[in-house]
Amino acid sequence: MRYALISALALCAAAAQTLPQKREGRKILCKTPENAASCYWTRGRLSIYNGNPPWRMWKVGTHRILAIFSGPSTFPPRNDQDSFNPELPPNLERAYKAEEPRKARLKEPFPDPAFADFEVCPLEPERKGEMQAVCIESVKDIFLQKSR
């Protein structure tokens, strides 16, 4: 009887791991069953650039620049909101939010560049010499490069 109970609990725990988990505060999915196999981790610097889209990531150690969008459902962009205000992972949003008082005090309008390990999911194929559209699924080891 005890072994049957333990086996049933183990089976329930394993089944719960396979169920889709709700992402913390994410409204637009980045990683979907269709693109999950192409997602990868990279070290990068996320910054605001002049042009469209303004949010871009430099892949450290390369000459590659990635264009940041919210996810597959917002690419290609249908309006300015899709291009200018991509949804970022909650922990990165919190890091930027924590810096807002300092940035306001210094009268700096743009967020600091963020160096981190990013899990990105391509939204289009990579083409030599062109920015590739991606979304950011998750971030770890965030370091905000303070300008002053």
Does a structural domain hold residue 21?
Answer: no
Residue ranges making up the domain that contains 78: 28-144
Establish if 39 belongs to a structural domain. Answer: yes
Tell me if 18 is assigned to some domain: no
Residue 38 has pLDDT above 60, yes or no: yes
Q: Is residue 88 part of a domain?
A: yes
- Split into its structural domains, the chain has a count of 1
Name the least confident of 53-57, 106-110, 130-134: 106-110
User: The tokens 């940041």 sit on which residue?
Assistant: 68
**Do the domain assignments include residue 1?**
no
Q: Is residue 32 part of a domain?
A: yes
Residue 5 within a domain: no
Question: CA 144, CA 117: separation in Å to the nearest integer?
Answer: 12
Q: Which tokens hold the place of 125?
A: 């194929």
Q: pTM for the whole thing?
A: 0.78
Encode pLDDT of 42-69 as tens digits: 999 999 999 999 999 999 999 999 999 9
Does a structural domain hold residue 6? no
User: What is the DSSP-derived secondary structure letter of residue 134?
Assistant: E
Residue 89 has pLDDT above 80, yes or no: yes
